[in-house]
């Protein structure tokens, strides 16, 4: 019989009712087995959510019931080698897949750190996180070997991985980066502050709303730069080699950096 482990708590409620490991976790933290893992709790704007997994994808869509819902799905390997850490903080919830020998303190809303000390983690299991994010709640998603997909987000999204595609549509996307993979960022509203869209091996695509005020820097070492607005592009004669360009949209302001080493940069504005 398949057992589903569920947690349905508000941030201000009692400590998490998730089955814990033998060692007592810090207050507000739950250590859970991966299979099965299901978190369901009330997280409202302007709070935030952090999702992290080393090996596996992260997929996020908009919640239809106003609650944060996160499930861990084992796609390969031995899930007993890892644990899911859930940490509730005043600003939101962090849910991280860490190795069983790592400290739960490595999972925080402000970021994820490893305490494994470089120990052998060969044959690492692949754990995918599937989430539904409430309206107005920001998301920070990070992976090492896996793609990140976040669609229909109504607040900001930051997404980083080392090996995998990043595909995000959100109110704004301050950061979407990978080393090996494509980056696609679609903005529902004008960005504010600095935006970083980058990869080493792959294409970078940015879809911006109409009437956006921004300063754009685009660069590729081996590829093309394609835009739907005037941009002066510096390139070596013959069209081969590095290319870079700068453009000011509207009054300027928000800085959008779109960089790749091996791939194309494509930036579009609506309308």
Q: How confident is the model over 15-33, as a mean pLDDT?
A: 63
Assessment of whether the complete model's pTM goes beyond 0.75? yes
Tokens of 103: 């400290």
Tokens representing residue 165 in the block: 């595609």
Q: What is the pLDDT of residue 239?
A: 63
Tell me how crowded residue 40 is: count the other CB atoms within 10 A of its CB.
16
Q: At 230, is the pLDDT very low, low, confident or very high (cuts 50, 70, 90)?
A: very high
pLDDT number for residue 122? 57
| Residue 22: CB atoms within 10 Å | 5
Question: What does the pLDDT read at residue 238?
Answer: 62
Query: Mean per-residue pLDDT for 100-123?
Result: 78
Max alpha carbon distance in the chain (Å)?
67
CB 269 within 8 A of CB 208: yes
Distance CA(115)–CA(183), nearest Å, equals 29
Greatest mean pLDDT among 16-25, 232-241, 246-255: 246-255
**Cα 41 from Cα 44, distance rounded (Å):** 10
Strand partners, 148: 58, 166
Q: What's the pLDDT at 55? A: 94
């Amino acid at each position: 019989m398949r057992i589903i482990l569920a947690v349905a708590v508000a941030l201000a409620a009692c400590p998490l009712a998730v089955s814990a490991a033998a060692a007592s976790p810090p207050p507000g933290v739950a250590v859970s087995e991966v299979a099965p893992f299901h978190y369901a709790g009330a997280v409202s704007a302007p709070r935030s959510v952090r999702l992290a997994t080393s090996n596996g994808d992260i997929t996020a869509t908009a919640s239809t019931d106003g609650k944060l819902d996160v499930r861990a799905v084992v796609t390969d390997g031995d899930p007993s080698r890892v644990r899911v850490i859930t940490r509730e903080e005043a600003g939101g919830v962090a849910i991280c897949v860490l190795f069983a020998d790592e400290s739960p303190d490595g999972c925080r809303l402000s970021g994820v750190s490893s305490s494994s000390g470089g120990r052998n983690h060969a044959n690492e299991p692949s754990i995918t996180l599937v989430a539904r994010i409430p309206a107005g709640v920001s998301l920070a998603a990070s992976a090492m070997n896996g793609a990140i997909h976040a669609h229909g987000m109504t607040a900001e999204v930051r997404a980083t991985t080392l090996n995998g595609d990043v595909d995000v549509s959100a109110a704004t996307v301050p950061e979407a980066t990978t080393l090996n993979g494509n980056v696609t960022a679609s903005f529902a509203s004008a960005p504010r502050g600095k935006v970083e869209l980058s990869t080493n091996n792959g294409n970078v695509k940015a879809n911006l709303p109409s009437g956006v005020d921004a300063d754009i820097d685009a660069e590729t070492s081996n590829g093309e730069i394609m835009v739907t607005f005037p941009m002066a592009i510096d390139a070596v004669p013959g069209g081969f080699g590095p290319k870079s360009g700068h453009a000011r949209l509207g009054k300027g302001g928000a800085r959008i950096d779109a960089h790749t080493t091996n791939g194309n940069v494509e930036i579009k504005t609506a309308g």
